[in-house]
Amino acid sequence: LDYTEFKRGRATYFSVHYRNPKLISSPVKVPRKEEEEKAPEQNYDEVIKALKAAGIDPLKLAEALSAMKPEN
């Protein structure tokens, strides 16, 4: 790798002049366990029952969440 390092203020910049193609590695595949591949199943009936038990109306909660603006 042939490069030049230069600074502007507190920032450091690198200018690459030449790089050896052997530095590029081939993509590595990570083996996944079967447990990780399966997405967890959502049981919404239990969630609705828990919300109602806590005294929260699921429809009002859905309306309130949909009315919220995302913050960036």
Residue 58, pLDDT > 80, answer yes
CB neighbour class for 37 (10 Å; exposed up to 12, middle 13-18, buried from 19) = exposed
CB neighbour class for 58 (10 Å; exposed up to 12, middle 13-18, buried from 19) = middle
What pTM was computed for the model?
0.36
Residue 70, pLDDT > 60, answer yes
Per-residue pLDDT tens over the stretch 27-53: 778 777 666 555 556 677 888 888 899
